[in-house]
Amino acid sequence: MTQAELSAEQRRIQYWQGLCVRAIYDIEDLRDKLAIHAELMHKPQPRMRDLNTGLSVEQRRDYETFMYKCCDKVHISATIPIKKGDALKINGSEIKLGDSLFALFLRFVVELKKKKGGWVNRYTLQSEGFVSDAERFQVYSLLRTALEGILLDKDARKFIENDGSKNYRISTHPDFITYDKKKLRGHPDGRVREIAKKLR
């Protein structure tokens, strides 16, 4: 095989590899949409008694208005100095996220704390630099996988929720997420410091 033929073969292999990777991302998006469709078609919307009976009147109203799916409680400690990732404590269990996933999670927290439902469009996330490609979904899968084992329902698709219209959010009540703002504002990652400035 000549050098030209070898180069052409390599380009063909790269082309098909690219198609396979894209197909994986498309399947991930389709799984989200099918899960949402199944829930709407076959499951009743969660009632307050199915969630947390310790909710305040205002919190119960928020669950009815914004249809949060979970009652998981999160504390973002962002311990400094940071070793092998940033610390989150969810339902009393600590995990660590890498810098990119931590920044994405914190971006969702900022939106959730606005108390308007918490949805962020994936193209907004791309424009702000939190995802590299709005058409790829691997980052959401990685985040879900990292969190799934310590969630109350063990269902990360409910916690990192997709609405089937290119929007994602953390699907728990804003009051259930706390953080150390001072530590976050002193974080060594500039992205995290910038996001922390937007936290209330």
Res 115: pLDDT: 95
Length of the chain: 200
How far apart (Å, rounded) are the C-alpha atoms in residues 86 and 82? 6
* DSSP per-residue letters across 8-50: HHHHHHHHHHHHHHHHHHHHHHHHHHHHHHHHHHHSPPPPGGG
Confidence of residue 49 (pLDDT cuts 50, 70, 90): very low
Cβ atoms 199, 190 nearer than 8 A: no
Q: 3-class SS at 63?
A: helix
For residue 80, is pLDDT > 70?
no
Q: Is the pLDDT of residue 26 over 80?
A: no
Q: What is the pLDDT of residue 99?
A: 87
How much is the pTM? Answer: 0.75
Give residue 39's region: left, alpha or beta (phi > 0; psi -120 to 50): alpha
Average per-residue pLDDT in the chain?
82
pLDDT above 70: percentage of residues in the chain: 70
CA distance 38 to 161: 14
Q: Tell me the C-alpha to C-alpha distance, in Å, between residue 88 and each of 42, 112, 195.
A: 34, 16, 16
Phi/psi at 76 (nearest 5 deg)? -100, 110
Tokens at 145, concatenated = 């996988």
Q: Can you tell me the mean pLDDT for 35-42?
A: 54
Give the model's pLDDT for residue 186. 87
Does 191 score more than 70 pLDDT?
A: yes
Task: Output the six-digit token pair for 102.
Answer: 């931590």
Arithmetic mean of pLDDT, 34-46 = 53
Question: Using an 8 Å Cβ cutoff, are 174 and 61 in contact?
Answer: no
pLDDT greater than 50 at residue 199: yes
Which residues, in sequence order, are bridge partners of residue 96? 87
The band of 77, judged by pLDDT with boundaries at 50, 70 and 90, is confident
pLDDT per position as a tens digit, 158-184: 999 999 999 999 999 999 999 988 889
CA gap 83, 188 in Å, rounded:
12
What is the pLDDT at residue 15? 63
pLDDT score of 52 more than 80: no
